[in-house]
A and B are shown apart, each in its own frame.
Chain A
Amino acid sequence: MSEDRVPGFATLAVHAGAQPDPTTGARITPIYQTTGYVFNDAEHAASLFGLQAFGNIYTRIMSPTSGVIEERMAALEGGTAGLAVASGHAAQLVTLHAMMSPGDEFIAARQLYGGSINQFNHSFKSFGWNVKWADIDDVESFERAVSPKTKAIFIESIANPGGVVTDIEAIAAVAKRAGVPLIVDNTLATPYLCKPLDHGADIVLHSMTKFIGGHGNSIGGMIVDGGKFNWMASDRYPMLSQPRPEYNGMVLGETFGNFAFAIACRVLGLRDLGPAISPFNSFLILTGSETLPLRMQRHSDNAKAVAEYLAAHPKVTWVSYAGLAGDRYNKLAQKYCPKGAGAVLTFGVEGGAEAGVKVVAEVELFSHLANLGDTRSLIIHPWSTTHSQLTEEQRKAAGAGPEMIRLSVGIEDVADIIADLDQALAKT
């Protein structure tokens, strides 16, 4: 391609990061299923370990297979570099590890995936990383939570499971005033529907387990470095701005320019904490990523039709889907995800928790499981499953009330999806 032509999204989804293999000419990225890579000699090994040269070392730190999905995700999000890790949770751990010291704080939206709420409230607290919760519907609450100890703000572009679309630009303005990076989990929207870096985010995270892989076969996470945050502006981020004893006094922020954050996550977080992704998972996720734009459009179109069907159903008390005309987040959806509001929607069924459990028991096409972003339509009753470890108050704050059912609408024929819900609701 002409060197300065900017390729479109679908072209990047197929090609970014992937070229035929240099040794065999294999067109598809091979699964480099090896733990380590040979060095030329001791001097070469020392150069690689000292970050003085680029090269293959060890699969805990890098893999040529994972490198392709890393570059592809960076290209799709419009970032400078990516880092693949073992899961979305690992992406959150490695990202915050590069910013936080014991006693530091970060601000997070209350409306998050329940697993993230657990991770922030409990596991991270044991590291001395203190989460301050704020409300996505009240931008001021983020402003009020800022303190001298704040190191980052964390939000989801489309929050799981409540169907909340976040006003990314408003929160980005708070982060900018506080001088801290804005981290956006873009799992539910994917860069096909929403590009947080265009709206002021500094770092984008994914659970690639969901739509990026898209077929429900592999757990994986991704960190995309937006390349714009100035880590060297103060001494608040010593992993990037101070000489690192692990690397003979190297300052990562000045050595690696606008992808220094991704490097810090790789050579400090991933190297030392260890949540490496398997090359095989990277391969499966790569294959899935090629059809991301096709799938996301279909997911969104199907979900909108399902939401409209449910909204008109007498046993359905409410539907939350930002793609639905009149939904409280519809305006924000039109701004941030104009092509569609994604696959995930929630609705309330008459009869509370008991009715919710019954609908899940009666569906035949929908699969009852905790994942989302599969080609298959998925259903879950969060109150009794994913969110059951949270307090009643936390469940409600996260949008997971007793009557609520979450759907991840698949890419099957939409008439079949609706027929399945119809027969299940009829039996409830």
Chain B
Amino acid sequence: MTAQPRDLDYPDDLISSILRSVKTIAMVGATPNTARPAHLVMKYLLGQGFRVIPVNPGQAGKDLLGQKVYASLADIPEPIDMIDIFRRSDAADGIVDEALALDPRPRVIWMQLGVRNDVAAAKAEAAGLTVIMNRCPKIEFGRLCGEIGWFGVNSRRLSSRARQAPSTFQRMRIPGKE
């Protein structure tokens, strides 16, 4: 299978509809190392109310941020909406194969910042899945709900509605229809 490299300029509408609708995320490459982005992202997404199921064969059966770690996607005993891939780009192909073998299938394959595999993406899209590559769901969630704009990051969004305070006292919400 071939795939052309393409522009990864995803529209905000697409990203926000994904992050508003998914509830259960399997994170492949979850880690207990608190300095690694995978750990920070898992902690943030849990804090925002997502169910995050960690996948890491080396940690299988252990507890990570209060969640049970599974060795593989196939071991997870419940439906998954989205798979967040925190692995090298060349590992994404095999992970997509595993995802497509699930029943029911996830709706979204999300490859983390720095992870891009156009062949795997084309395969997942051919099967009707939505694919996001080279993005961080923590950053995108924080950007779209306006949270990281409080800290000088360009959210690329304008609004005359009252903004939400950072998630000190409550969970954040991405504006728009559910």
Contact = CB atoms under 8 A, between A and B. Distances in A.
Nearest to A15: B158
A1 B158 contact: yes
Contacts of A262: 152-153
B142 A54 contact: yes
B168 A17 contact: no
Given A22-B163, A52-B43, A66-B152, 14 more contacts: A3-B13, A3-B157, A16-B154, A22-B164, A37-B168, A39-B168, A47-B43, A52-B34, A53-B47, A62-B151, A71-B153, A75-B154, A82-B152, A254-B37
A294 to B, nearest CB: 19
Given A19-B161, A255-B37, A83 B152 contact: yes
A16 B35 CA distance: 32
B29 interface: no
Closest 6 CB pairs of A and B: A70-B152, A19-B163, A74-B154, A249-B35, A20-B162, A81-B153
A74 B163 contact: no
B139 A11 contact: no
Q: Is the interface of B mostly helix, strand, loop or mixed?
A: loop
B64 to A, nearest CB: 14
B67 to A, nearest CB: 16
Nearest to A253: B114
A7 B156 CA distance: 9
B153 A52 contact: no
A56 interface: yes
A296 B158 CA distance: 23
B40 interface: yes
Interface in B123-166: 136, 139, 142, 146-166
Nearest to B113: A257
20 contacts: A3-B16, A4-B12, A4-B13, A7-B158, A19-B163, A22-B165, A40-B169, A47-B43, A51-B40, A67-B150, A71-B153, A75-B156, A80-B153, A82-B152, A83-B152, A250-B35, A254-B113, A254-B114, A257-B114, A259-B154
A54 B156 contact: no
Contacts of B37: 254-255
B66 interface: no
Most chain A CB atoms below 10 A, which of B113, B153, B166: B153
A370 to B, nearest CB: 29
Given A4-B12, A11-B158, A257-B139, A56 B166 contact: yes
- Interface-centre pick from A53, A64, A256 (highest chain B CB count, 10 A): A53
Interface in A14-37: 15-17, 19-23, 25, 37
A345 B16 CA distance: 48
A238 interface: no
Given A4-B13, A255-B40, A74 B158 contact: no
Interface of A: 1, 3-4, 7, 11-12, 15-17, 19-23, 25, 37, 39-40, 44, 47, 50-56, 62, 64, 66-67, 70-71, 74-75, 79-84, 243, 247-251, 254-257, 259, 262, 266
In the complex, which range does the number of interface residues on chain B fall in? 35 or more
B44 interface: yes
Contacts of B142: 54
Nearest to A78: B154
A50 B43 CA distance: 12
B166 A82 contact: no
Contacts of A82: 152, 154
B154 A81 contact: yes
A244 to B, nearest CB: 9
Nearest to B39: A52
A251 B36 CA distance: 8
B162 A84 contact: no
B152 A55 contact: no
Given A54-B148, A54-B150, A266-B152, A21 B157 contact: no
Contacts of B136: 257
Nearest to B145: A54
Contacts of A39: 168
Contacts of A243: 35
B94 interface: no
Contact of B154 (A55, A66, A80, A84): A80
Contacts of B43: 47, 52-53
A74 B139 CA distance: 16
Given A11-B158, A54-B167, A81 B11 contact: no
Interface in B17-39: 34-35, 37
